[in-house]
C-alpha cells in the first residue's frame, strides 16, 4: 500500500461525519447513506472511501467534484489534492457545505452553484473527476474535460441499477473503463438525467 493511500485511510478514520450533518447525527457512525434534505443523501462512509481511493489522488492535482452535498466527500478530496472545483445545484446545501468547509480552514476549494453535468469548462482539464450522483450515461463533456492520464469515478445507470465505474484516459486520449461496484445513488440532474 502506497503512503498516500495509507494517509487517506488514516485521515478518513478520524473524520467526524456528524459535523457534515444537520439531523440524525446519532446515526453518523453507521455505514449507511443518510438523508441531508432536498431528496439528497450523505453517502455511506465505506463507499466514500472506496471512491476516493479509486481516484488515486496526488498532492498537486486539480479535481472536479459534481455534487458538493454535505461537503463530506469534498473535505476528503481537498485534503489530498491541489485544488478542488465543486459544483452543487441546491443553493441551501451549497451554502451549508461551504460554511462547514471554511470552518475546517480549507483554502483550496472553489464553489459553483448550478448544473454540474456539463462540468466546469473554464477550469478544465481536470486530473481527477468525482461524480456523486448517477448519470444515465457518461457525460461527453466530462470525458472531454478529463486530462490525459486522468481518472474519473462515476455511477452510471437508472433508479434501480447502477454501476460505479472508474474511467481512465490514456496519453492518446482513449478511455478505459473498470467496473468497481454495484451502487445506488441519487440521480444526476440536468442534461444527463435519466
User: Can you say whether the dihedral through the CA atoms of 104, 36, 11, 83 is positive or negative?
Assistant: negative
The active-site residue, picked from 10, 18, 43, 136, is: 43
pLDDT computed for residue 194 by the predictor = 54
Residue-wise DSSP of 127-177:
EEEEE-SBBSS--HHHHHHEEEEEEEEEEEE-SS-EEEEEEEE-TTS-EEE
Q: Residue 61: what pLDDT?
A: 97
Please compute the mean of the pLDDT values over residues 138-162 and round it to a whole number: 94
- Residue 140 banded pLDDT, cuts 50, 70, 90: very high
pLDDT of residue 116: 86
Which tens digits make up the pLDDT trace of 114-126?
988 889 999 999 9
User: DSSP string spanning 3-63?
Assistant: HHHHHHHHHHHH--GGGG-SS-GGGTTSSS-EEEETTEEEPPHHHHHHHHHHHT--TT-EE
Q: How far is CA 82 from CA 67, 102, 156, in A?
A: 19, 16, 27
Q: What is the pTM of this model?
A: 0.94
pLDDT digits (tens, 9 = 90+) for 36-81: 988 888 999 999 999 999 999 999 999 999 999 999 999 999 999 9
CB 38 within 8 A of CB 96: no
Higher-confidence residue of 78 and 182: namely 78
Given this model, what pLDDT does residue 193 score?
63
DSSP lists the bridge partners of residue 37 as 40
In the predicted structure, residue 100 carries a pLDDT above the cut 90: yes
Domains of the chain: residue spans and CATH: 40-183 (3.40.50.150)
Task: Please provide the average confidence, as pLDDT, over all residues in the chain.
Answer: 93
* Residue 43 falls in the annotated catalytic set: yes
Amino acid at each position: 500500500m502506497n503512503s498516500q493511500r495509507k494517509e487517506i485511510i488514516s485521515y478518513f478514520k478520524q473524520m467526524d461525519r456528524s459535523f457534515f450533518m444537520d439531523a440524525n447525527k446519532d446515526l453518523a457512525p453507521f455505514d449507511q447513506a443518510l438523508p441531508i434534505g432536498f431528496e439528497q443523501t450523505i453517502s455511506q462512509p465505506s463507499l466514500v472511501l472506496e471512491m476516493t481511493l479509486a481516484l488515486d489522488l496526488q498532492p498537486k492535482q486539480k479535481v472536479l467534484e459534481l455534487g458538493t452535498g454535505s461537503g463530506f466527500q469534498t473535505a476528503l478530496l481537498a485534503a489530498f489534492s491541489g485544488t478542488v472545483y465543486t459544483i452543487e445545484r441546491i443553493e441551501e446545501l451549497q451554502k451549508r457545505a461551504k460554511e462547514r468547509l471554511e470552518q475546517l480552514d480549507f483554502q483550496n476549494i472553489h464553489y459553483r452553484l448550478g448544473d454540474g453535468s456539463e462540468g466546469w469548462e473554464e477550469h478544465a482539464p481536470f486530473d481527477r473527476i468525482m461524480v456523486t450522483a448517477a448519470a444515465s450515461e457518461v457525460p461527453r463533456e466530462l470525458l472531454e474535460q478529463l486530462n490525459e492520464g486522468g481518472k474519473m469515478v462515476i455511477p452510471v445507470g437508472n433508479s434501480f441499477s447502477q454501476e460505479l465505474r472508474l474511467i481512465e484516459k490514456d496519453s492518446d486520449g482513449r478511455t478505459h473503463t473498470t467496473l468497481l461496484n454495484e451502487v445506488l445513488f441519487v440521480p444526476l440532474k440536468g442534461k444527463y438525467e435519466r
